[in-house]
Amino acid sequence: LTLAVVLPERNLTYPWAWPRVGPAVRLATAAVNARPDLLPGFTLRWVFGNSEDQHGVCSEMAAPLVAVDLWLAHHPAAFLGPGCVYTAAPVARFTRHWQLPLVTAGFEAHGFDDKQEQFGLTTRTGPSHRKLGELGVQLHRRFNWTRRALLVYWDERVDDRPYFFAAEGLYVQLPTLRNLTVMDIVFRDGGNFSFIIQEIKNKGR
């Protein structure tokens, strides 16, 4: 019984990087195999594929190619990872097509809550940005912030866009409050701070 692992091989800026997760995978595999009653007639093993590009960052090109290679070569029963949004999305679509479960510690974006269609076999073990949005809704209710919300976030579109996806959870959930106007502003590094502050002053309350 094979577990396919698709994670960043070296980049420790990712909490789900292989040097962090690998020891747990090895320990879990050994623990399962030490108890024949858990998977009678099977031996659990894992195979690894790197989701990084040549610069060491999550790659939406490398991850699905590695996943397909592992699927063709090893016929895994499940996938562990990827974690980054842009790498996990295509792999999760493939695993749904193959009818295989995928477990990930990342994949936080709001859009991956869709369990009816393409992400029906994906299980996230970490936090989701939907929950962040629901927290925002509860804070607005608790403090009676009922008119306007302004989201200011940084979005360079050259990385994994963590701020965009974090703001997305709030942007989607806050309108569930009646009569609340939600606006958003993209803040860029080296941008006009005076403009941002004025926008917050004028529109954020």
pLDDT tens, residue by residue, 165-189: 777 888 888 888 877 777 777 776 6
Same domain assignment for residues 32 and 53 = yes
Same domain assignment for residues 12 and 52 = yes
Residue pair 92/122 in contact by the 8 Å Cβ criterion: yes
Q: Look at residue 48 and tell me whether its pLDDT is greater than 80.
A: yes
Query: Alpha carbon of 96 to those of 39, 46, 88: distances in Å?
Result: 23, 20, 12
When divided into structural domains, the chain yields a total of 2
pTM for this prediction:
0.79
**Banded pLDDT at 150 (limits 50, 70, 90):** low
How far apart CA 50 and CA 8 sit, in angstroms, is: 5
Same domain assignment for residues 120 and 138 = no
Q: Average model confidence (pLDDT) for the chain?
A: 86
| pLDDT tens sequence across 61-108 | 999 999 999 999 999 999 999 999 889 999 999 999 999 999 998 888
Determine phi and psi for 190, rounding to 5 degrees. Answer: 80, 15
Helices (H), the chain: 18-33, 62-74, 85-98, 129-142, 162-173, 193-203
Residue 6, strand partner residues: 49
Q: Look at residue 35 and tell me whether its pLDDT is greater than 90.
A: yes
- What is the average pLDDT across 18-32? 97
- Most confident range (mean pLDDT) of 27-31, 112-116, 128-132, 168-172 is 27-31
How far apart CA 32 and CA 30 sit, in angstroms, is: 6
Rg (CA), the chain: 20
Q: CATH number, domain at 179?
A: 3.40.50.2300
Residue 148, strand partner residues: 181
Question: For residue 39, what are its two tokens?
Answer: 């998977």
Same domain assignment for residues 191 and 161 = yes
Nearest to 47 by CA among 77, 27, 20, 19: 77
More confident residue, 203 or 155: 203
Same domain assignment for residues 105 and 133 = no
Residue pair 63/104 in contact by the 8 Å Cβ criterion: no
Same domain assignment for residues 87 and 138 = no
Nearest to 63 by CA among 104, 112, 123: 104
Q: Look at residue 28 and tell me whether its pLDDT is greater than 80.
A: yes
Same domain assignment for residues 58 and 71 = yes
- Residue 197's domain spans which residues? 129-203
Nearest to 200 by CA among 125, 150, 159, 144: 150
200: left (phi over 0), alpha (psi -120 to 50) or beta: alpha
**Banded pLDDT at 159 (limits 50, 70, 90):** low
More confident residue, 61 or 129: 61
β-strand pairing of 2-7 with 148-154: unpaired
- Most confident range (mean pLDDT) of 51-60, 73-82, 100-109, 148-157 is 73-82
More confident residue, 151 or 68: 68
